Structure 1
Amino acid sequence: METIITIKGNVKHTITLDPTVWIFDDRKLDLNTFFTEEHIEKDVDEEYKRDMGKHWSREIMEGATFPPTLKTEKKFDRQKMVTGTFGISLDHFVKNAEPVEDAKTITFLTMDGLKETFPISNIGNFLFKFSQDGKPLTEDGPAHLLFKDGSNIEQPLRKVIGIVID
């Protein structure tokens, strides 16, 4: 089974994605609760800039202090990682590929030769499911395309191996 997903086409940067490492990504979403709870989208870059600005201001006022490393390290819930069902928003990756300004559509390609095309303006509405009960999607993966509104949760687009932006 192919486990790599490529983003290519009318983009400035062709990107290769490996869904098997997304389990360690801080942007992953717990799909067991995503469709049942209200979610607030956070701009990770904006949070980072705000936190760095506060840190910089504090260093100017108080002088440099070294943070205690054990309190600031990211902790992973191992039990949740081993048993959870996870997805990740697609717009993070497409943003890094930098679609050209005249791009109009996004097409998802599957191992079975299926193609699903959507307007590029819908990019914020897609999730990639990459894990089911703590295991990668080996049978019908590497990823499933889900809509954030949950309308295709029962019948997602399976075996997605490519994204073409036109």
Structure 2
Amino acid sequence: MIVQLTGKVNYPITLDPTVWIFDDRKIPFDELTQSIEKKENKVDEADQTALRLDREVFQQKINPPVNKSISKFEREKILKGTYVMPIHDFIQTAEIKSDAAIAKIITDTSNETISLKKLEQSYLLFSVDGKPVKDKGPVHLYVMDESDLSEPIKGVKKIVID
């Protein structure tokens, strides 16, 4: 149930998605789909700039993650939700080397190749209804430049930066 981030990085990382359920950086899957719908409806460049700024400010607020106290109600809600984790922070921690250009997504059945820019904007689905992803798990990768969220890369076992 782990995912390795290796290749042309200064610090190879082993990700354990089973511990992300109480991480403050997680995002409910519903919020992710709503943000995509909003982006599709807005074509104004000024709005896109404002969204980018909001995202950067939001990222600054959640780095580093803080384990805040949660109530029993919040805990029950968390343990029943479907969540994704932005991969951006993990990529920053790994420190990709300057000569890297692509990312190879290794699964049980195939290898997919995406650009580093697409990888940085991607999210890892790690929890469905409060449980770890069992069906083609441990994580599914949602590439955010795609408007169709119905086709993630499933069964991600390793991400190799090349």
Alpha-carbon deviation of 1:142?
A: 0.3
1:22 paired with 2:17, answer no
What corresponds to 1:41 in structure 2? Answer: 55
1:146 paired with 2:160, answer no
Q: Map Cα deviations across residues 91-150 of structure 1 (whole Å, 9 max, x no partner).
A: 1111111110111001111022x1111111223320000011111101211000112356
Contact 2:86 2:124 in 1 (8 A): yes
Q: Map Cα deviations across residues 41-80 of structure 1 (whole Å, 9 max, x no partner).
A: 245674479xxxxxxxxxxxxxxxxxxxxxx943251122
Alpha-carbon deviation of 1:33?
A: 2.4
Question: TM-score, normalised to structure 2's length?
Answer: 0.77
Please give the root-mean-square deviation of Cα atoms over the aligned residues, in Å. 2.3
Structure-2 separation of matches of 1:20 and 1:127: 15
Q: Please say which structure displays the higher CA radius of gyration.
A: 1
Q: In the superposition, relative to structure 1, how do residues 45 and 30 fare at CA in structure 2: closer, same or farther (>3 Å)?
A: closer
What corresponds to 1:75 in structure 2? Answer: 70
What corresponds to 2:160 in structure 1? Answer: 164
Q: Mark the runs of 5 or more structure 1 residues left unpaired by the alignment.
A: 50-71
- Give the alignment of 1:122-141 within 5 angstroms: 122-141=118-137
Structure 2 SS opposite 1:41: helix
Quick one: which amino acid aligns to residue 55 of structure 2? E
Contact 2:140 2:154 in 1 (8 A): yes
Q: In the superposition, relative to structure 1, how do residues 109 and 80 fare at CA in structure 2: closer, same or farther (>3 Å)?
A: same
Choose which of 68, 78, 99 in structure 2 pairs with 1:102.
99
Question: TM-score, normalised to structure 1's length?
Answer: 0.75
Q: Mark the runs of 5 or more structure 2 residues left unpaired by the alignment.
A: 39-50
Alpha-carbon deviation of 1:86?
A: 0.1
Q: In the superposition, relative to structure 1, how do residues 73 and 82 fare at CA in structure 2: closer, same or farther (>3 Å)?
A: closer
Structure-1 separation of matches of 2:75 and 2:84: 17
Structure-2 separation of matches of 1:86 and 1:26: 11
Contact 1:5 1:18 in 2 (8 A): yes
Structure-2 separation of matches of 1:43 and 1:97: 22
Quick one: which amino acid aligns to residue 33 of structure 1? E
Matched residues, number: 141
